[in-house]
Amino acid sequence: MRIVVTRNVPEAAVELLRGAGQVHVCERDQALDPAELREVVAGADGLVTMLGDQVDGAVADAAGSQLKVVANVAVGYDNLDVPALAARGVTVTNTPGVLTDATADLAFALLLMATRRLGEAERLIRSGEPWFFHLGFMLGTGLQGKTLGIIGLGEIGQAVARRARAFGMRIAYSGRRRVAADVESELDARYLTRDELLREADVLSLHCPLTEQTRHLIDAAALATMKPSAVLVNTSRGPVVDEAALAEALRAGRIAAAGLDVFEQEPAVHPGLLELENAVLIPHLGSATVETRTAMAELAARNVVGVLTGNGPVTPVEA
């Protein structure tokens, strides 16, 4: 069996993969372009991919008819053409669960940075400009009694809600369907329509997958519906937010601040956002802990080994 890993991964994951075949790791940290990807996958029985790898039918055909599994090192899999892969008999897997807490921690860090102006404050210190304490100096907003609105109350959204409850926030959410009654009860969470949530949320945190329905879910109209004092946090996928519309809304004061971990055209960021003090911008660090990234790679490896040895995937994606 030939197993191709499109970028560097922790050695523990490579060792797992060696239990199923010969492993070729593309020892680089940047995504392969489409032509490079098609070249490197030739003859692969298994493929371990990252978010930046666009894997469609053409890539599967370049690998050959023996390709059995594509294991994405991520929860989301919008970079994979799942129907095209399934049509070719290829199993697709992802890595849910293992990054829940790390991503929730990061989302809440962005929430705190945006509401308390921490990025702006650190830049002030580093600039060397003089400053002095007074009662009106760099005022942010508190969280106690405020409403955290969550779009997508899945595992990560629930983990963020638990953190928010510890800070005295109220929880409201929207999504394709209501969550189980016991989850609503635990979080004391209210289910609202999307427009109701936009109007009510003091902080809006996005935890939905990227689909055709959620692309630019937060657009100019949605931003205009939000409170002028509201804060937007996005740790889901960049294209869920219309960055140009967000930059304009932040510049014009139509919302107060935003904290973004993901961007529409990563690694590029809309230049309008880069100019704004009320935009907290970090480079896709949601799962960036040693423990979490290792667990993600190991889970992807177990998926590949499971399929190639006939034991089946651990966390398959439904076609």
- Asked if 122 contacts 94 with a C-beta cutoff of 8 angstroms, the reply is no
- Asked if 115 contacts 148 with a C-beta cutoff of 8 angstroms, the reply is no
Does residue 270 carry a catalytic annotation? no
**β-bridge partners, 44:** none
User: How many CB atoms neighbour CB 278 within 10 A?
Assistant: 18
- Contacts (Cβ under 8 Å, ≥6 apart) of 130: none
**Phi/psi zone of residue 255: left (φ > 0), alpha (ψ -120 to 50 degrees), beta?**
beta
- 3-state SS, residue 130: coil
Nearest Cα to 306, choosing from 4, 12, 10, 21?
21
Does residue 123 carry a catalytic annotation? no
Select which of 237, 270, 293, 302 is catalytic: 237
Does residue 237 carry a catalytic annotation? yes
Select which of 155, 196, 248, 266 is catalytic: 266
Give the helix/strand (H/E) hosting 149.
strand 147-151
The radius of gyration of the chain's CA atoms, rounded to the nearest angstrom, is 21
Q: How many residues are given for the chain? A: 319
Point out the residues that are catalytic.
237, 266, 284
